[in-house]
């Protein structure tokens, strides 16, 4: 098993429960006696929530940098194909890269402390953890990180964590089962890590993620605005007992940085004392500035101009390209969508539902799921791809030739893919998804496909 040592991660994904519920307290420092908290709030587009956290290990509750490490663990899980055992193995350096953290000596110690807090804290969700597979919020209790170990290279021999760890130390991380399941079910959204890593402090990064999540649930009008009581917002961010004046002082640098970067247009307060309200106005950069070429690509596939502009403004170009590639492969294979625009929107918003596709691939219906911003509907049914598409190899050749041109595949590998497709050992969906793999992961994927048995006639 190989572990990438350096990756320039221009895109990332955020698990939406983690961000929406603000499970990791935003402040960079908390009191040494803070070993539990609970909150029950109603936050408009973020919904009603009832969550509690308790440290089981004597550590303080997760806060600050822990949110970045959790993001890195989530993306390592996605990067490694969402393993069924919920486990990822990677170097500390690679975890830092996925977390937008510079892997220096001081940070290595902070990372280990963070992992201990994440493993040692239990969260309870009362009809609050959204289960995409059921289309509703459910009650759960678990640790976000079920366990972690420091290994001796790749031979899976555990070493003492009391020893100083180096950046090339190998970590084994096991995600909590409900978290891993949520990622597999596609309850995620894009996060541009090239922007995220430029934000200065955990408070700014947490606020950026939380406001990005809130933006998805607001009307499409411009400029978008979100209004929230200051006391409820402070509690949600982990400033449970702060006086309002202290809350405002803590938020002010984060607001200023997000305004300077154009993410927010302004953040204003109204009212007095405990009754104060905070109003955010999003910057037009959230939607405006969408690449006309990318908009044209989406409108040519059934989307109206307005929704196309919104999606291009919200998603990185690579995410749009992946959705279009997968959409084209499904249509070329003979799939008849009830709404082409709805199908394309659902692929873009919830690609993990389609990453699960295997040789006997199914595609979720697009109608209700697309209008529900990626949340699966309880009443939806999977529709199987046609067993005998009109020209499956012709469609596959088009996708594979493009990959060869982009130097993501060799000609030999292209021919191997076509042979596997003829034998029924891979699906058109899997072939299309090679377009978003790196050169190394494409070779690894081919090796896995070749190990599959040839179906019996």
Q: What is the pLDDT of residue 441?
A: 62
Of 260, 286, 312, which closes a domain?
A: 286
Band of the pLDDT at 172, cuts 50, 70, 90?
very high
Check whether residue 321 and residue 358 sit in a common domain. Answer: yes
Q: What is the pLDDT of residues 393-415, one digit of tens each?
A: 665 676 677 666 666 667 777 88
Sheet with 277-282, edge to edge strand ranges: 225-229, 277-282, 264-270
Question: Rounded CA gap, 13 and 75, in Å?
Answer: 6
Check whether residue 314 and residue 257 sit in a common domain. Answer: no
Q: What is the pLDDT of residue 362?
A: 42
Buried b (16+ CB within 10 A) or exposed e, 60-79: bbbbbbbbbbbbbbbbbbbb
Question: Rounded CA gap, 303 and 340, in Å?
Answer: 8
Check whether residue 213 and residue 356 sit in a common domain. Answer: no
Q: What is the pLDDT of residue 250?
A: 95
Q: What is the pLDDT of residue 331?
A: 78
Helices then strands (H, E): number in the chain?
Answer: 19, 14
Check whether residue 269 and residue 339 sit in a common domain. Answer: no
Q: What is the average pLDDT across 243-260?
A: 95
Band of the pLDDT at 288, cuts 50, 70, 90?
very low
How many folded domains does the chain comprise?
A: 3
Q: What is the average pLDDT across 216-224?
A: 70
Of 212, 208, 243, 206, the residue nearest 25 (C-alpha): 206
Query: Which position has the token pair 């067993």?
Result: 387
**71 part of a folded domain:** yes
| Phi, psi of 38, rounded to the nearest 5 degrees | -150, 155
Of 269, 286, 303, which closes a domain?
A: 286
**Owning domain of residue 24:** 12-202
Of 139, 168, 202, which closes a domain?
A: 202
Check whether residue 267 and residue 337 sit in a common domain. Answer: no
Contact 120, 143 (CB under 8 A): yes
Q: Is 168 left (phi over 0), alpha (psi -120 to 50) or beta?
A: alpha
Domain with 263 in it: what CATH number?
Answer: 3.30.1370
The structure tokens listed for 220 are: 């499409």
**4 part of a folded domain:** no
The predicted model scores a pTM of 0.64
């Amino acid at each position: 098993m190989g572990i990438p040592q350096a990756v320039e991660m221009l895109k990332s994904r955020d698990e939406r429960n983690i961000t929406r519920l603000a499970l990791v307290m935003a402040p960079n420092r908390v009191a040494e006696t803070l070993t539990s908290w609970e909150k029950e709030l109603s936050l408009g587009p973020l919904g009603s929530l009832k969550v509690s956290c308790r440290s089981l290990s004597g550590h303080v509750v997760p806060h600050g940098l822990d949110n970045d490490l959790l993001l890195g663990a989530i993306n390592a899980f996605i990067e490694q194909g969402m393993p069924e055992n919920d486990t990822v193995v990677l170097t500390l350096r690679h975890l830092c890269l996925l977390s937008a953290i510079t892997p220096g000596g001081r940070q290595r110690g902070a990372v280990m402390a963070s992992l201990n807090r994440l493993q040692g804290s239990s969260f309870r969700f009362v009809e609050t953890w959204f289960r995409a597979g059921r289309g509703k919020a459910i009650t759960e209790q678990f640790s976000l990180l079920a366990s972690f170990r420091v290994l001796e290279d790749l031979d899976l021999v555990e070493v003492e964590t009391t020893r100083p760890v180096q950046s090339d130390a190998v970590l084994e991380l096991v995600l909590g089962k409900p978290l891993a399941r949520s990622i597999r079910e596609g309850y995620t959204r894009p996060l541009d890590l090239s922007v995220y890593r430029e934000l200065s402090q955990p408070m700014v990064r947490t606020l950026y993620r939380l406001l990005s999540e809130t933006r998805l649930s607001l009307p499409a009008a411009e400029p978008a605005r979100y209004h929230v009581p200051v006391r409820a917002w402070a509690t949600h961010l982990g400033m449970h007992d702060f006086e309002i004046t202290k809350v405002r002082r803590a938020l002010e640098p984060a607001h200023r940085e997000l305004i300077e970067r154009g993410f927010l247009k302004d953040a204003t307060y109204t009212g007095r004392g405990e009754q104060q309200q905070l109003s955010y106005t999003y910057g037009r950069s959230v939607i405006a500035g969408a690449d006309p070429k990318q908009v044209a690509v989406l409108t040519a596939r059934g989307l109206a101009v307005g929704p196309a502009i919104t999606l291009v403004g919200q998603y990185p170009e690579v995410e749009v390209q992946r959705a279009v590639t997968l959409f084209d492969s499904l249509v070329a294979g003979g799939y008849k969508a009830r709404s082409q625009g709805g199908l394309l929107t659902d692929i873009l918003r919830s690609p993990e539902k389609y990453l699960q596709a295997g040789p006997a691939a199914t595609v979720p219906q697009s109608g209700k799921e697309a209008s529900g911003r990626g949340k699966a509907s309880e009443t939806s049914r999977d529709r199987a791809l046609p067993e005998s598409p009109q020209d499956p190899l012709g469609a596959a050749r088009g996708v594979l030739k493009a990959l060869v041109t982009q130097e993501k595949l060799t000609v030999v590998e292209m021919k191997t893919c076509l042979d596997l497709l003829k034998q029924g050992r891979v699906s058109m969906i899997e072939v299309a998804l090679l377009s978003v793999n790196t050169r190394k992961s494409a070779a690894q994927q081919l090796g896995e496909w070749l190990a599959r048995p040839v179906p019996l006639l």
